[in-house]
Structure 1
Amino acid sequence: MKKLALFLISISFIACQNEKKSVNTVDSTSLAVDTELSFKYDSVKVYSKFPIVVEKVSDTSKAVISYPVFADEKINQFIQQKVLKAGNEGENYTSYLDFANSFIKNFDDFSKENKGYGQTWFMNGKVEVVAQQPHYLSLLFTFVNYEGGAHPNSSFVYLNYDPVNHQEIILDSLLNPGSMTKLTAVAENIFRKNEKLAPGVSLKDNYFFENDKFSLNQNFSVTKEGIKFLYNPYEIKAYAYGITELLIPFTALKDIAKPNGLLNPVN
């Protein structure tokens, strides 16, 4: 999975440098799903009007954001709010297009002030539906951007939503009261097994956990096998290692998950 993450980042970088150019387009592709929550994927694309020419090869900076559109507008508002908040760098974006335009404006302003600059920028944001149940919608927001430097920056963030009650699903709402400590202990055992670390071996030298103590984040998705946590590049390891995923199976959550909840093995 680590190699896969780095491969996806590389593919995004190459695609963003070579795709055919146009200006401010919106694409729409229908997707049929066998669930009550039908949706389609739309995308916003914005290109810079200041091409970069290197050795007679012209390229243009671009910003692309693709996202699902549901019939229920409350779901769409939740997704957009999360995406815009994740990309907020001191600016209050009002729409996906506003977000993309802002990125390209930053490049254009930079390009005007640095006329000898020979590198394009890109931003690629993608929201995908990864799981659907009557009371559960899980989405993965993949965000890759490049504004110069040694490599692109990337993040992978899960969004969890109850489409019936229209509220975000947080980790604590899935656990029995006071169970976070036990969940963390179970997760650490699995993490150490995955990383081939014996119990008691320090996490200080190779990991970035605060105070060198293992901890879970809030970046999770409920899968068919259990609850999966995702750590982004730089979050607990060096960038070269890519993402780190940690799956806790339902069988390990018997005394931790709320009865009749998403993490209950009976469901």
Structure 2
Amino acid sequence: MKSLVGSLVLGSLVLFSCSKKQTTEVNIPTFDKDTIAAEAAFKMDSIKISDSIKAGTNLTLAYDNSVLLFPTITDKTVLDSIYAPTLLKTNDYSKTGFATAFEEDKSNFYKESKPKDFQPASHQTWDTQSHMSVFSNQDDMLTIRYTNGGFSGGAHGYYNELYKVFDLKNNKSILLSDVVKNPKDKIWNQLLMDSFTKNDKDGQKDMLLEKVIPLNTNFYFGNKSITFVYNQYEITAYAAGVVYITLDYKDIKDQLKPEFLQRVRFN
């Protein structure tokens, strides 16, 4: 029933990282041509848990979680910001600390998800999944993608993506205020809407729920453009999936801070 993988033992729970070594040399892929290229070799490690239990005749609960570990990042403020989106309750960012946090989070999920007086008519698996991945890493700027999804009955599951960029040189998160001159400028609404409707190839604009697309804080950037990410129901119906709106620097450079353009080497 249970599928547990690992090199750490916590009580009866067995956890392991994707590598037998504490630190692993890996090549980090990029996701598109404009994403800032990854360093040739980036030191990191990871820890993962996969577990499931029977919660009745027709119901299985499944828990799947993983986090990345960065041995060379030691600044507490940066580490706090890196792991805040995981919602794991720990201040110990070691494998041991995360193993303990996984166990607590898993137990809470099972406790909160197990129905008292309900069983599906046919077999279902209710699950939760949470993962981290390096999206890009160059020039002391690390972009991490956080994904979260699951199913707890009903018509469909859920899924969302979050991107955070970290300035490892200055030990801080790169915020929207570090990128744009005036986030409240209404010109952003028009720029985002124009790009969304012009570049839509999957019919997402037909599922638009909002008359105005607001600037948000979920973004990643490369050498030529910045992409804003909108999850299900933020601006479109569930069936539209995740929406990515990309704006080229050449079209919005007057709205961007000069120091940001210099940092991403845009000429």
Q: 2:178 aligns with which of 173, 197, 211?
A: 173
TM alignment of 1:81-100, pairs within 5 A: 81-84=84-87, 93-94=89-90, 96-97=98-99, 98=101
CA distance change for structure 1 residues 229 and 137 in 2, over 3 Å: closer, same or farther?
Answer: same
Q: Deviations over 1:48-68 (max 9, x none)?
A: 4436555xxxx8533222222
Aligned twin of 1:163: 168
The aligned amino acid for 2:150 is N
Note if 1:27 corresponds to 2:20.
no
Aligned twin of 1:213: 212
In structure 2, what is the Cα distance between the partners aligned to 1:105 and 1:214?
36
CA distance change for structure 1 residues 177 and 150 in 2, over 3 Å: closer, same or farther?
Answer: closer
Aligned twin of 2:74: 73
- Tell me how far 1:183 sits from its aligned partner: 3.5
Kindly indicate which of the two structures has a greater share of residues assigned to helix.
Answer: 1
The alignment covers a number of residue pairs equal to: 229
8 A Cα contact 1:250 1:265, kept in partner: no
In structure 2, what is the Cα distance between the partners aligned to 1:146 and 1:96?
24
In structure 2, what is the Cα distance between the partners aligned to 1:245 and 1:192?
12
8 A Cα contact 1:45 1:62, kept in partner: no
- Tell me how far 1:108 sits from its aligned partner: 4.3
CA distance change for structure 1 residues 261 and 37 in 2, over 3 Å: closer, same or farther?
Answer: farther
The aligned amino acid for 1:208 is L
8 A Cα contact 1:52 1:119, kept in partner: no
Q: 1:121 aligns with which of 114, 117, 126?
A: 126
What TM-score do you get using the length of structure 2 for normalisation?
0.71
Aligned twin of 2:33: none
Q: Deviations over 1:170-211 (max 9, x none)?
A: 112112357843343322221231349xxxxxx9x94333xx
8 A Cα contact 2:224 2:266, kept in partner: no
In structure 2, what is the Cα distance between the partners aligned to 1:67 and 1:168?
18
Q: Which runs of 5+ in 2 are unaligned?
A: 5-12, 28-37, 91-96
Aligned twin of 1:266: 266
SS of structure 1 residue aligned to 2:85: helix
In structure 1, what is the Cα distance between the partners aligned to 2:147 and 2:139?
24
The aligned amino acid for 2:151 is Y
Moved more, 62-71 or 187-196: 187-196
- Tell me how far 1:47 sits from its aligned partner: 2.1
Aligned twin of 2:236: 237
CA RMSD of aligned residues (A): 3.3
Q: Which runs of 5+ in 1 are unaligned?
A: 1-18, 88-92, 197-202
8 A Cα contact 1:230 1:246, kept in partner: yes
SS of structure 2 residue aligned to 1:236: coil
CA distance change for structure 1 residues 141 and 178 in 2, over 3 Å: closer, same or farther?
Answer: closer
8 A Cα contact 2:67 2:131, kept in partner: yes
8 A Cα contact 1:46 1:101, kept in partner: no
CA distance change for structure 1 residues 73 and 208 in 2, over 3 Å: closer, same or farther?
Answer: farther
SS of structure 2 residue aligned to 1:67: strand
